[in-house]
Structure 1
């Protein structure tokens, strides 16, 4: 990738904090959701397993975007950041290995919702959570401040575009709902105005909110309020 630019340097990296908040909450909740599936309960397993697989896929694509679009640029423009970038690369590799193992364990659990397989999935999700929580905190303190000074806004926006391209159109409102859950209530209206065009905001209000509420209830095993 090209690491030099004639564009004005400096960008707003605060959108990454929202993504990180989403991953923190989701992967903190995931082990408990899995442990809550009773032995042999394939009906309950279905939404939980689907949710875990979707989380794993989202994290994979998020890390893929950073691997493709972030690390080389930072190493080239901020050589002093190379040690931190190396740590990020190593943590991404560790998480990728965990997600590969998770896929295998999920496949075994999905056969008959066995207790041993469930417990293995939950234990590995504990490991993913611990690795991820350490990684996200270090990225926020050691990477984002540098990225905000050495990357242009257009370059930073490519990360968002990469992430959006990985979301199927029929899952857009579901992803939006999870994101809004980590945005403070008094900031949600402003966040929606800043991130969605008016027609999409109308669709969210008329269709998306109900769609997400039903999906969330299935995943968490609660009633739609």
Structure 2
């Protein structure tokens, strides 16, 4: 059986830094967006709630992918990393609890647009943010270097493939827009050339960029 380059151990894990930057940005901004909604503004409440639910769902799916595809492999191939993996599993469990508490606070605010309900959501998001920032830093320090050594490009790529499969087609350009926001401006053209085929880049320039700009303005309350 022939071994291809995609199956040789050793992979580039730098794409995870971009995903982490995306989640950092989203969850640092989320409690600020929530607290910025005026008491009784039901329309704005529902807009911000939709965004919060979307980023929380993306984070949950991301962690689920790591639980399914990453931890067991690292424990088997790098036993010295087992303590770090155990910490990651524990942090994921904590995050799941905090996200569930945040989700439980959403319906009351969605129903009433009341300031006290809004503040309960914001406080829950503060807890999610704080735990997430600690977790992402730990993962970058303790996990990514080991994964880069013991996992193959095909195995690492399965994480990306599972993540993309969860994004509805109608939301792909929005997801791309949020990602590009955390890519340094001078690197965006290169990032697009590396990660998108030419037809998709054309569609982004013709349709997706404007679609994302409208969505971003709606989320951040800057739409005219």
TM-score by length of structure 2 reads: 0.96
Counterpart position of 2:163: 163
Counterpart position of 1:41: 41
Counterpart position of 1:84: 84
For 1:57-206, list aligned pairs within 5 A. 57-206=57-206
**Partner Cα separation in structure 2 for residue 97 and residue 10 of structure 1:** 34
**Partner Cα separation in structure 2 for residue 126 and residue 217 of structure 1:** 23
**Partner Cα separation in structure 2 for residue 223 and residue 191 of structure 1:** 28
CA RMSD of aligned residues (A): 1.0
Residues 88-137 of structure 1 show CA distances to partners (whole Å, capped at 9, x for unaligned) of 00000001011111111011110011111100000010000000000000
Counterpart position of 1:3: none
Stretches of structure 1 that go unaligned for 5 or more consecutive residues are 1-5
Residues 6-45 of structure 1 show CA distances to partners (whole Å, capped at 9, x for unaligned) of 9310000000000000000110000010001111101111
User: Does 2:31 correspond to 1:21?
Assistant: no
**Partner Cα separation in structure 2 for residue 52 and residue 208 of structure 1:** 21
2:8 partner SS:
coil
For 1:212-223, list aligned pairs within 5 A. 212-223=212-223
**Partner Cα separation in structure 1 for residue 77 and residue 30 of structure 2:** 37
The CA deviation at 1:191 is 0.2
**Partner Cα separation in structure 1 for residue 64 and residue 7 of structure 2:** 24
**Partner Cα separation in structure 2 for residue 122 and residue 223 of structure 1:** 22
**Number of positions where the alignment pairs a residue of Structure 1 with one of Structure 2:** 219
Stretches of structure 2 that go unaligned for 5 or more consecutive residues are 1-5
